[in-house]
Every structure is written in C-alpha cells, then in structure tokens.
Structure 1
C-alpha cells in the first residue's frame, strides 16, 4: 500500500492512539492534518512528525463545536487541496454511577464522541465528493460497545452509537464512493507499557496488551485506496478479549 500524497485528517491527534495513527500515516508518506483541543500538545505532536521527516500541520479543534470542525476541514482543503481520509478519533470518558451522572455530563460525552463523528464525516465528505468522488472515513469506537464494567453508561452508549452511525453513513455515502468503517480497540496501553505485569498480558488470547501501533495498522488497512470493497465494517482489535469467556471462581 502507498499513501504518498494522500491527505489524512486525524482528530484527537495530540497523544495516545490519535498520535500513533497520525505518525503511522506520515511514515507511509501521507500528508497529515492533526486536530485537537490541546493546542500545546497538538503543536508539539505535529512538530515531532515533521522532525522525523513527515508532513503535518496542526489545527486547534474542539470537536464539540460545529464551527471548529468546519474550520478543520476547510483548512485541510486550503492547505493540501483535498481530503482523502478522515480518522474520527477524538473522544472522552467519565466513569460515574448512573445515579450521579448529570445530564450535562451525559451530553458532553455523547456530543464529543458521537455527534462529532457525524459532523466531521459530513463536512469531510463534502470535500471528498467534490474532488475525487472517493474517500475513506474511520471511526474509533471501543469494545465498550460490546461489553461493560460498572458506571460506564454514557461512554458505552456513545461507542455503541458510533458502530451504528458507521454502517448508516456507509450506506448513505456509498453512492459518492466514500467508504465508512470503524474500529473497536480493546486495552491499548498508550503511556506505561513497560509497567504492565505478566497477568495483564496473559489474560489476552494474543498474549499481550495492545499498543497504538496495532490500531494504526488497522487504520492503514481500512484507509488503503485499494480496499474499495471494505465498507460498513466494524473491526474489533482487542487481542481476542471479547471472545474469551471469563467465569468467577
């Protein structure tokens, strides 16, 4: 696969999975537009990619705000003349009892995680349709869409909604040659991998905890312009954990 001169927009790109994904695309020759609400970290992340020989620009973007999403896509168009790939990665979580979770907190999580996917996809698709009549959108869901721990209602609902939104938009945008897929990461350790214990790794059928590179490779596959028959797909990347039956002793 080659991503030379492919324009890729990544939200939530300042750190963690978002940065790992952006870096992987840059290493394959893509032109990166990185959005994040943390301006200091976002600018530093783009600079780090450029220092490694990649091409990246950073645009401040709070995905809860429609105008800022529109500005992110317009800036990508102005900077590189097109948008080929959109990675909807930005998201937040809040673990709180359903008895205590406020309406404002619920709305903030759903607006950040789900509404942003719809708005960003809609705005990016306008440019994809205008220029090439093709494109790829990848939404970042979570295995929390399929399984839960206590006090995760808003986050789980948002990730389940992303899975449904993905197949809905794949159908709506397919006529314009735009593919829409999603990835559900499992445990992806983004900061302190070396501190993980043997039990952490061995609970995964794959034998280890995941890394951002695992998600980046999945994104590269789904964004590959040769994979025109892959759309509406929900790809679980979790080392097999959602397939493992666990019983209390």
Structure 2
C-alpha cells in the first residue's frame, strides 16, 4: 500500500489532497497545527498535530506517522493569508510567521523523511504560489517564502535524484473556502473561472506519478500569469 504525508491537511487544499489519496487506498498521515480541523478528517487518515515552525514537532510527527517507507510527501502547510502590512512595521517575528512554516518547515519535513522517501523511490510535491513571481502590496514574507520554495524544489531535485523526485505547484486564486464570487472574479481568468481545490489535487496526483518530471514548477492559475493586465 502506498503512503503519503500531507502537511496543512486540516483544511483547504491540504485537506482535499489527504482525502483524495485516502480514497485511492493510500495510507495517509495528515499533519496540521489545527487539532479540531484534523479531528473532522475521520478514521481513514492518521491525524497528527504538528507545528511546522518547530523542529522537534516535525520530528515527532514524522515518527508518529509510523511509516517505514514514503511514496509521497506533500509540503502544503503554512498561513494562507499573505498580507503583512507595511514593511516598516514588520517585526522579525512577523517575517518568520511565514518563512518558518512555509519554507523552513518544508526543508525540515524533507530532511526528516529523506530516508523513507529513498526506501520507496518516492517524490516530494511542494506548494509554492504564483506570488513567488508577482505580488500585491505588503506581502513580503509570503512572497519570499514561496519564492524560496521554488529554489528549494530544484535544489532537492538535483541533490536527491535519481532516487527521489521533487516538484512544486504554484496555485493562483483557489477558492478553497468555496465563497460566492462575482462574475467578474471568474471572467478575468482566461479559463473563465476561479480555481477549485480539485484543480490542485489533480496536479498533485499527476506529479506523484510523473516519473520523468523533476525540478519543475507546475503553475495552476487559469492562465492569469500569462495575461497582460492594463487599467487603461
């Protein structure tokens, strides 16, 4: 039976990824700091509380998963809200509230899982963002963390190959909360709609099986990063 660890699995994209692989018969370890959210996943996954900004917590969580091999590691965890406010008002703690769980947490998860991944000739899928390449105002920590994940991904692909593949996904606007959105919100996308969590699940599933793909960033954004946008 195949095995997967998914971080940030209590809600949104991570939750959908965990439920997908569980439905495919995989053994799933779902990691998150949100204990209540994990509790709603049911008995089909191994729900493990984990703080991705803590080295000790990550080490304990990987151990608690109890796997002797790992086919897939999905590094998805970290705060979703990208807005930090003016840079002059940011503290180091503010900065690290994005860098630590997103970027350092991804590094620590791979480090703790590397022997398990080698045993299975498995793969890593890191969750980057189109914000690694383009920004709105006052999103410094999030953009830097996601840009770092892009760099970490190709470094992992070269450093850990050929036994382990490493890729990333750069989602655009994904309506993970299933909010009611305006027609304009959908229409601005070249594909005619805002993204759904299922779009990212499909991308993760593809990369988990794409044996000739490594070191790549798969952009899943409905074409928005290819669109010129002018106000006049």
What TM-score do the two structures reach when normalised by structure 1? Answer: 0.89
Q: Which residue does 2:61 correspond to in 1? A: 72
Q: Which residue does 2:129 correspond to in 1? A: 142
Q: Which residue does 2:12 correspond to in 1? A: 16
- Where structure 1 has 5 or more consecutive residues not aligned to the other structure, the ranges are none
Distance 1:197 1:153 in 2: 28
Alpha-carbon offset, residue 94 of structure 1: 4.5
Count residues with an aligned counterpart.
230
Distance 1:215 1:179 in 2: 18
Distance 1:43 1:35 in 2: 11
Instruction: Say if 1:36 and 1:62, in contact at 8 Å, map to a contact too.
Output: yes
Q: Which residue does 2:116 correspond to in 1? A: 127
Alpha-carbon offset, residue 192 of structure 1: 3.0
Q: Which residue does 1:180 correspond to in 2? A: 166
Q: Does 2:141 correspond to 1:154?
A: yes
Q: How does 1:47-58 map to 2 (within 5 A)?
A: 47=42, 50=43, 55-58=44-47
Instruction: Say if 1:24 and 1:213, in contact at 8 Å, map to a contact too.
Output: no
Query: SS of the residue aligned with 1:126?
Result: helix
Distance 2:68 2:149 in 1: 28
Q: Which residue does 2:203 correspond to in 1? A: 218
What TM-score do the two structures reach when normalised by structure 2? Answer: 0.96
Alpha-carbon offset, residue 81 of structure 1: 3.2
Distance 1:68 1:127 in 2: 18
Q: Does 2:206 correspond to 1:247?
A: no
Q: 1:97 aligns with which of 81, 86, 89?
A: 86
Alignment RMSD: 1.2
